[in-house]
A = this chain, B = another copy of it.
Amino acid sequence: MAPSEVFARRRARLQQSLSGPALVVSGFARPRNFRGNRYPFRAESHFLYLVGRSLEGAVLALSPGRAVLYAEPPDPIEALWSGPMPSLDALAKDLGLEVRPIAELVVDGPVALLPPQDRETASWLEELVERPVDAGGAELAGADAALADAIIELRLRHDEAAVAELREATRVTGLAHQAGMRATRAGVRECVVRAAMEAEIIGSGMTTSYGSIVTVHGEVLHNERHDGWLTDGDLLLADVGAETPGGWAGDVTRTWPVSGRMSGSQRAVYEVVESAQSAAIAAVRPGASFRDVHRTAARGLVRGLCELGVLLGDPDDLFARGAAALFFPHGVGHLLGLDVHDMEDLGDRAGYAPGRKRSTSPGERYLRLDRTLEPGMCVTIEPGFYRIPFILDEPRELGELASAIDRRALEQLSDVRGIRIEDDILVTPSGAEVLTAAIPKTVPEIESAMRA
């Protein structure tokens, strides 16, 4: 199948669900510190899914019977700075799609669209369609909601080309993690390990799919700092993923000891998290509810912490009372695809099956996915253990669970601040495939990779 065929099929499938015209925009590059200094352009994911090329300021116009791409024609002055651009005819041939100059795009009548992610594109779109467009707005109605649902229906289950992209993204993500393990040593800053990891990604012609987390303070869930010093005795948590040139994301977390050897307490907690993760991965299969997968991990964590003596009481009772959230306050995973949280731009419409809603419980309020799993879905499984002062030192957060924590046992784990283990799992017809299975994960694997 020619590469352009992949996108033609996706468009055709979407067109079958449309009852009227729809626009899918690519968007504009974001300015960094001034408008002439921009981040590399990356098209909106829906556009990438349907067109396969990051063309700035382009619009795919779809109706049940027609697909036209409106794009900027090459500009000879611009060529001096950016090099030759293909003609629209060449682009049409390459993409297997009718291409017309963007100036010819006229909207006369109602048209369905999805809100772009930045205010600039939203404002541009507002002028085109003559109605308000909320940048990043996930509250959709009418034809917009129907368009979103049709796209979700497509993007939820990955086709062969998408799976091939995810394999590439996870392969390079694995190279990055192995490079990070090799680069780790006491006496350098976190940014040195980050550099080694991102160099693998950049050197593979890819980019990071999200801001890398590389930190000895794993208890800060989305830590964006990289200036901490590595000390023997620390655990380093690295949540780093690669994105293919086509825009597909890997998303992996590993946690390893700066010294190359885990202490007894670190190994004990690590193995509790690893075992909870294994149980959750084993629960991933067609027909399984992702909320149950989350609960499998949470229950496994509570059981392990009881065995370590950190939690006091009956594991099932403690789990039912929400004890897992004391140490694992986020969801066990999310959809993975063109976005690291796939289709999160559409809010919970993508992650939550129709009729399902976010829970307000501390253990499940951050769960990003609540659907019945189907072949072709790709999810992350990423339980963790964190000693978060904001939870563990706050009587209000602890509530009646305060008495379930053995403070002395917890104190003995003081060299564990945060552990997370995250893999990317493809649901298959017969079960699941761990796309990131080759990345060192068990304690012996990690210790051996660090010596390499």
Contacts and interface: CB of A to CB of B under 8 A. Distances in A.
A204 interface: yes
A187 to B, nearest CB: 13
A139 interface: no
A120 interface: yes
Given A123-B119, A198-B199, A224-B40, A80 B340 contact: no
A205 B223 contact: no
Interface in A312-344: 329, 338-341, 344
Interface in A216-265: 217, 220-227, 245, 247
A224 B39 CA distance: 10
B117 A120 contact: no
Interface string A364-396: 000000000000000000000000111100000
A203 B210 contact: no
Contacts of A40: 211, 224
A277 interface: no
Contact of A44 (B33, B76, B226): B33
Interface in A103-151: 117-120, 122-123, 135-136
A167 interface: no
Contacts of A414: none
Interface stretch (A157-165, A188-196, A299-307, A421-429): A188-196
B191 A195 contact: no
Interface in A269-284: none
A344 B36 contact: yes
A39 B37 contact: no
Residue of A30, A42, A192 most packed against chain B (CB within 10 A): A30
Contacts of A33: 42, 44-45, 117, 247, 338-339, 345
Nearest to A368: B36
Contacts of A192: 203
A451 interface: no
Given A198-B198, A344-B36, A220 B81 contact: yes
Nearest to A204: B191
Interface in A16-52: 30-40, 42, 44-45
Contact of A35 (B34, B117, B388): B117
A430 interface: no
Contacts of A338: 33
A355 interface: no
A202 B214 CA distance: 12
A36 B195 contact: no
Q: Which 4 A-B pairs have the closest CB atoms?
A: A195-B203, A83-B220, A30-B30, A199-B199
21 contacts: A30-B31, A30-B32, A31-B118, A32-B39, A32-B210, A33-B44, A34-B117, A34-B136, A34-B341, A82-B220, A82-B223, A83-B223, A118-B118, A119-B122, A120-B135, A189-B205, A191-B203, A191-B205, A195-B198, A199-B202, A205-B227
Interface of A: 30-40, 42, 44-45, 76, 79-84, 117-120, 122-123, 135-136, 189, 191-192, 194-196, 198-205, 210-211, 217, 220-227, 245, 247, 329, 338-341, 344-345, 388-391
Given A80-B390, A80-B391, A195-B203, 14 more contacts: A32-B42, A33-B247, A34-B339, A35-B345, A37-B344, A80-B221, A82-B224, A84-B389, A84-B390, A118-B120, A119-B123, A123-B123, A191-B205, A202-B226
